[in-house]
Structure 1
Amino acid sequence: MPDSARFARQIVLPGFGEAAQDRLGASRVLVVGAGGLGSTVIPTLAGAGVGTIGIVDDDVVETSNLHRQLVHGVADVGRRKVDSAADRVHALAPDATVVRQSERLTAANALSVLADYDLVVDGSDNFPTRYLVNDAATILNLPLVWGAVSQYGGQVGVSWASRGPQYRDLFPTPPPPGSVLSCAVGGVLPTTVGVVGSLMATEVIKIITGVGTPLIGRVTVFDGLSGGFRELSYAADPDAAPITGLVDYDAFCGLAPVDAATSVSAEDLATRLDAVTLVDVREPWEASIARLPGAVLLPLGELQGRLGEIDTSRPVVVYCHKGIRSAAAREQLEGNGISAVHLDGGIDAWSRLVDPSIVRY
């Protein structure tokens, strides 16, 4: 029997009732990512009465997260996101069960992790994880609620292969690496994260309770600048190959493995930092947050016209935030006759592996 006082405003909804509330209490929902979208989805599901919430995230809270990841607070900076999010769930719903998975979801563990749940929510921020979660959910025949945000907009959909189209029917192939701006590079309006996360949580509640019509074969697109919504419909691809197993998703998404001939690790660079020419291809606002000493700032969009500012008398090392733009910059330099390598993992890896005083963002 649900807590009638706590959930009275839900139970009274037409078509909802105590039976729907009981289904929420008995449900097990896995949320992949306790970042921006997860920060809205997780407490909303806890407040609605979901009985078991699994949280998968291997990251820690950074100061730059706080403007949009409202499940975390200033005191949580440096803590594991799964711990901070779990504390919030327990504050909202002391009787809820929280399963913390502080490891990264991979092809090696995804099927075993997802198998314990009734439904999966993908709030991740990278394409390898999105395709991994979709494929694992498809193999296990689990409904998947997914969402994505960028700058002032976002989108939400439901992938459920046994009931209709799935994520690969909408996006058969991932975009080229670096072609879609990350939140770190392009920015994100915090209210957009809240809107999209709320829509995702709504889909979860609808699927569990049977109320309403899930977004199967449809995508809701939100534009924060206009305040408008639109809906796109899509169908299953009859010629698509069936998903029967998991693959190397970094390779599938075009993220090449580390090549010693074209990249350098943070640890190796630290041993010879004073003997190289450092080129920072990030934007000025990023450099104002954190930068490596002695680096010349040449944003990627300006690089071609400023090649003469690079001291080629020493080995050239290019870096960016996480290694995507610097890989493209290295190729551009090579095409102009300048030999270079790039910092694998970018300044983020430097902060994690060499100098934690460098602010992560």
Structure 2
Amino acid sequence: MDDDQLLRYSRQVLLPGVGVEGQDALQRAHAVIMGLGGLGSPVAAYLAAAGVGRLTLVDPDHVEVTNLQRQILHTEADIGRDKVASAAARVAAMNPQCQVETRAAYLDVEAMTRLFGTADVVLDGTDNFSARGAISRAALAARTPLVSGAVIRFEGQLTTFDYRDPEAGCYHCLYGEDGGDEDTCAANGVLASLPGVVGSLQATEALKLLMGLPTLQGRLLILDGLAMQFREIRLRRDPACPVCGPRSTPA
């Protein structure tokens, strides 16, 4: 890092376990953010601000007026614009040193697997069960760690699946194959600030993972926003899981 970069990231470099080595690791890192809505907005903002060197933003949708209540990277002037274009412009303004790539398209599991294979971490900010399941399958196939977040109404959930570990459980170990795509913010609503809370925690998990610090691997964090209470449950790999059960240790 040069002197300007040391000054920019000095409050982070001062942290035990980070230092210059940790900041260098962030600058070399590539993160893929799936979905640039309520969760993806704070994720992208904080990863860029923290100095992650390369971000790939993936979202096939465009900005709508109903997004503005919680998707803080977008403004009224962006209505009708691709979300990835709007988000990329805001990220570039925050940190011009961050390399940003965009994909305004739906990616199937095969395409996601190829993309995730180039990344150090994937962050899931999508809002339905089938998308999350597909992203998990692709991250598992690529052996790329996945930071998964979800919000609805006043509730949030967060965990990290470190697929570099052959004993790590997967998304399907936790939720099975019976999730419903009707459980979305569009159908059930969400408090405006809640995606900001969970998305910020996702960014925190990703930053720690990229710097080799402890994560939520093996634990699910659950937020009750009404009671303002956090609790966690242990996650274990299901040997009978149809997605990750038969996988072998990578060479």
Partner of residue 91, structure 1? 93
1:115-167: CA deviation from partner (whole Å, max 9, x where unpaired): 22111001011111111110111111100000000011100011123422221
Counterpart-to-counterpart distance in 2, 1:52 and 1:176: 33
Partner of residue 171, structure 2? 167
Partner of residue 69, structure 1? 71
Counterpart-to-counterpart distance in 1, 2:181 and 2:121: 29
SS at match of 2:6: coil
Select the structure of larger CA radius of gyration. Answer: 1
Partner of residue 230, structure 2? 229
Is the 2:41–2:73 contact (alpha carbons within 8 Å) kept by the matching residues of 1?
yes
SS at match of 1:109: helix
Which residues of structure 1 form unaligned runs of 5+?
245-361
Is the 1:28–1:53 contact (alpha carbons within 8 Å) kept by the matching residues of 2?
yes
Counterpart-to-counterpart distance in 2, 1:44 and 1:134: 22
Structure number with higher relative contact order (C-alpha < 8 Å, ≥ 6 residues apart): 2
Partner of residue 316, structure 1? none
Counterpart-to-counterpart distance in 2, 1:124 and 1:111: 17
SS at match of 1:120: strand
Is the 2:149–2:198 contact (alpha carbons within 8 Å) kept by the matching residues of 1?
yes
The amino acid of 1:230's aligned partner reads R
Counterpart-to-counterpart distance in 2, 1:186 and 1:176: 13
The amino acid of 2:116's aligned partner reads L
Is 2:220 the partner of 1:219? Answer: yes
The amino acid of 1:216's aligned partner reads Q
The amino acid of 1:165's aligned partner reads G
Partner of residue 248, structure 2? none
Is the 2:170–2:244 contact (alpha carbons within 8 Å) kept by the matching residues of 1?
no
- The match for 2:58 among 47, 56, 59 is 56
Is the 1:28–1:118 contact (alpha carbons within 8 Å) kept by the matching residues of 2?
yes
Counterpart-to-counterpart distance in 2, 1:224 and 1:204: 22
- The match for 1:201 among 203, 217, 220 is 203
Counterpart-to-counterpart distance in 1, 2:133 and 2:177: 9
Q: 1:196 to 1:139 in 2, by over 3 A?
A: same
Deviation, 1:114, is: 1.8
SS at match of 2:109: coil
Partner of residue 249, structure 2? none
Deviation, 1:243, is: 4.5
1:177-231: CA deviation from partner (whole Å, max 9, x where unpaired): 53x2x211211001111110011000000100012x2111101111111111111
Counterpart-to-counterpart distance in 2, 1:236 and 1:187: 32
Identity %: 40
**What is the number of equivalent residue pairs in this alignment?**
242
Which residues of structure 2 form unaligned runs of 5+?
246-251
The amino acid of 2:186's aligned partner reads A
1:117-266, aligned counterparts within 5 Å?
117-163=119-165, 164-178=168-182, 180=183, 182-211=184-213, 213-243=214-244
Counterpart-to-counterpart distance in 2, 1:36 and 1:148: 10
Deviation, 1:174, is: 2.9
Is the 2:148–2:202 contact (alpha carbons within 8 Å) kept by the matching residues of 1?
yes
